[in-house]
Amino acid sequence: MPDVIAEYYYEPRGDTSPEFAAQAIADEETTGTWTDISTRMEYVQRLDGVVESVEKSGSGYITRIHYPAEIFEAGNVPQYLSVVAGNLFGLGRLDSVRLLDVEFPKELVSFKGPKFGIDGVRKLIGTDVSKRPHVGTIIKPKVGLNPKDTAEVAYLAAVGGVDFIKDDETLTNQDFCPMEERVQEVMSRLDDAMSETGRTILYAANVSDRADKIVERAKKALECGANAIMVDVITCGFSAVQALSEDASINVPVHVHRTMHAAMTRYKKHGIAMRPIARLVRMSGGDQLHTGTVSGKMGHDPDELTGDNMVLKGDYFGLKPVFPVASGGLHPGKVHAELENLGTDLILQAGGGIHGHPKGTMAGAAAMRQAVDAFMEGFSAEEYAEDHSELKLALEKWK
């Protein structure tokens, strides 16, 4: 079986040589430790980590390290992470180290992957023909609304034209908005929207919870009518995504939010880039994953983001492609930049950019859809706004 190859940016501490520092990573994550040990038998040494290369990069270095595949327990994502993204982050011989990407051989990508993927989600919504991007909204305020008002906001967004509605990351099952009641109310209003518009709208209830309860919570959401579920992958773990996706009775798309990711992904010199996270979410079975925006409220490197989305959409040992989600600070005036850079196999989500519209949620949803239609029909947002009043008002508000 081919090795696992991990690529890291790192800066050695003090007078540690770059080669020695890279070897320290390889040793720590395989058969070594901080000193020679008498128990490292000869037969164990086939599992040694090997430094393939060390190259200067900016104020640090990039190294590629080979980990023998035999070290990995196929199908065990937490164990994969303990090797490629484990103790190495704290090594005293390094000032900083960032996992940039990791190549796993086919045998270790032995997962079912997404149940629906991009095409499956498109089919549910009925946009497989037009191939336009989907428009989603996050109910705002992110916490505080009661179930009835949440449902009303969802209804307005649905009638206005969104394809997808989701809870925000901090809304789970609090007393002010119990999940089961919320899901029932929202789905009932989405049925009304369906009767009026003929369109299916997905609603992802946030089922994030402690490990031993998450599947049970998702099943409750489905019993109450949810036609999608959402989970926070960094706080709940990749195993939570896998447990939800692989449960035969949970036959709805799994929307994967990444709250807390920036603690790992944001700093260019230390942490974990989004790319390995994207790979692991695909293996674990997420159908939709937030990867960021080129123009929104969170800082992103457009090149890195494009590459992350390719990891979700490109060939990967037969696993279905994951729908990338651009979310955070989007509004109709930003739609063109997002689609030009990220393509139309994308879910564009807006919270403030819909519910903050001068004429309210329904007009805000319409404005987002108009911005998408403008792009698909080859017009600038400004041109299209001339005879689309909702879009015009949005562009005037958010210059």
Ligand X SMILES: O=C(O)[C@H](O)COP(=O)(O)O
Question: Which residues form the interface with ligand X (CB under 6 A)?
Answer: 138, 140, 168-169, 297, 327-330, 349-353
Binding segment for Mg ion (CB under 5 A), chosen from 19-27, 71-79, 164-172, 303-311, is: 164-172
* Least distance in angstroms from the C-beta of 189 to ligand X: 20
Give me the least distance between CB of 255 and ligand X, in Å please.
Answer: 10
What whole-number distance in Å separates Cα of residue 265 and Cα of residue 276? 10
| Beta strand extents in 226-285 (DSSP E only) | 228-232, 254-257, 271-272
The closest alpha carbon to 311, from 100, 48, 154, belongs to: 100
Please say which residue, 66 or 334, places its beta carbon nearer to ligand X: 334
Token pair for 343:
């393509």
16 vs 259 by CB, closer to Mg ion = 259
Number of H helices, E strands in the chain: 16, 13
- Are 256 and 288 in contact by the 8 Å Cβ rule? The answer is yes
Active-site hit among 66, 115, 134, 140: 140
Shortest reach from residue 331's CB to Mg ion, in Å: 15
Of the pair 18, 292, the CB lying nearest ligand X is at 292
Residue nearest to ligand X (CB): 351
Query: Does 262 engage in binding with Mg ion (CB under 5 A)?
Result: no
Q: Is 140 a catalytic residue?
A: yes
Locate all alpha helices (DSSP H) within the chain, ordered by sequence: 18-28, 77-84, 117-125, 147-160, 179-197, 214-223, 233-236, 238-246, 262-265, 274-284, 302-313, 335-342, 352-355, 361-377, 381-385, 389-397
Site size with Mg ion, rule: CB under 5 A? 2
Report the amino acid identity of residue 290: H
- How does DSSP classify residue 203? E
Closest separation in Å from C-beta 151 to ligand X: 18
Given the residues 257, 300, 355, 357, select the one marked as catalytic.
Answer: 257
Determine, following the binding rule CB under 5 A, whether residue 329 of this chain makes contact with Mg ion.
Answer: no
Tell me if 333 sits within 8 A of 395, measured CB to CB.
yes
Q: In the complex with ligand X, which residue's Cβ is closer, 102 or 256? A: 256
As measured in angstroms, the least distance from the Cβ of 162 to ligand X is: 12
Whether omega for the bond prior to residue 141 falls within 30 degrees of 0, making it cis, is: yes
Coil, strand or helix: which one is 316? coil
Among 168, 180, 191, 373, binds Mg ion (CB under 5 A): 168
Stretch that binds Mg ion, among 117-125, 163-171, 362-370, 376-384 (CB under 5 A): 163-171
The residue ranges that bind Mg ion (CB under 5 A) are 168-169
Give the active site residues: 140, 257
